[in-house]
């Protein structure tokens, strides 16, 4: 690949940003980022990060892959911060349900267990989420998978999980 073609391809994925104070930097801009921005647009300007709120919206609409993507965008910026493992656990939870949608029961159970471990580091309520209730949800889904011998998918249109934030 010649140099000019390579520069044109790179130019499609990076954009020059100017932020207050005159600092400029190159930031990644991809089709995925634009799609995520569109999914979380209605949540802008609220107390919590729009991507965090968008995660719950997608999750509750059974858009588990999209929920994963939306929160991964936030996690990538905070993976080593105090909420890094919290966001990772939520991503793993959504990933577990992606696997259930695809009838991949063992990978789903593995992600549920990873999410459980990552949630264990946080208090019973964190970032307006009742983690005690989420841990019960995880335990219930793991039990169903194990009792079914990983041969029966417990996910049906009638028992899709819902996650709710508590503002009080």
| CB-based contact 14:34 (threshold 8 Å) | no
SS3 28: strand
Q: List residues bridging with 15 in a β-sheet.
A: 27
Q: What is the pLDDT of residue 167?
A: 85
Q: What is the pTM of this model?
A: 0.80
All domains in the chain, ordered by first residue:
31-147 (1.10.3450.10)
User: Quick one: pLDDT at residue 2?
Assistant: 43
Question: Could you tell me if residue 128 is left (phi over 0), alpha (psi between -120 and 50 degrees) or otherwise beta?
Answer: left
Within the chain, which residues score under 50 in pLDDT? Answer: 1-30
Position 31 scores a pLDDT of 60
Maximum alpha-carbon separation in the chain = 59
pLDDT at position 144: 97
């Amino acid at each position: 690949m010649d140099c000019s073609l390579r520069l044109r391809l790179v130019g499609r994925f990076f954009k020059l940003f100017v932020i207050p104070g005159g600092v400029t930097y190159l930031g990644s801009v991809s089709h995925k980022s634009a799609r995520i921005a569109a999914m979380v647009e209605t949540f802008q300007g609220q107390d919590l990060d729009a991507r965090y709120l968008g995660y719950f919206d997608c999750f509750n609409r059974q858009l588990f892959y999209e929920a994963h993507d939306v929160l991964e965008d936030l996690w990538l910026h905070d993976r080593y911060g105090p909420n890094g493992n919290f966001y990772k656990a939520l991503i793993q939870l959504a990933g577990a349900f992606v696997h259930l949608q695809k009838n991949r029961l063992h990978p789903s159970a593995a992600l549920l267990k990873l999410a459980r471990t990552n949630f264990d580091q946080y208090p019973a309520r964190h970032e307006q989420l009742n983690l005690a209730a989420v841990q019960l949800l995880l335990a219930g889904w793991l039990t169903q998978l194990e009792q079914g011998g990983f041969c029966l998918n417990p996910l049906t249109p009638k028992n899709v999980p819902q996650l709710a934030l508590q503002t009080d």
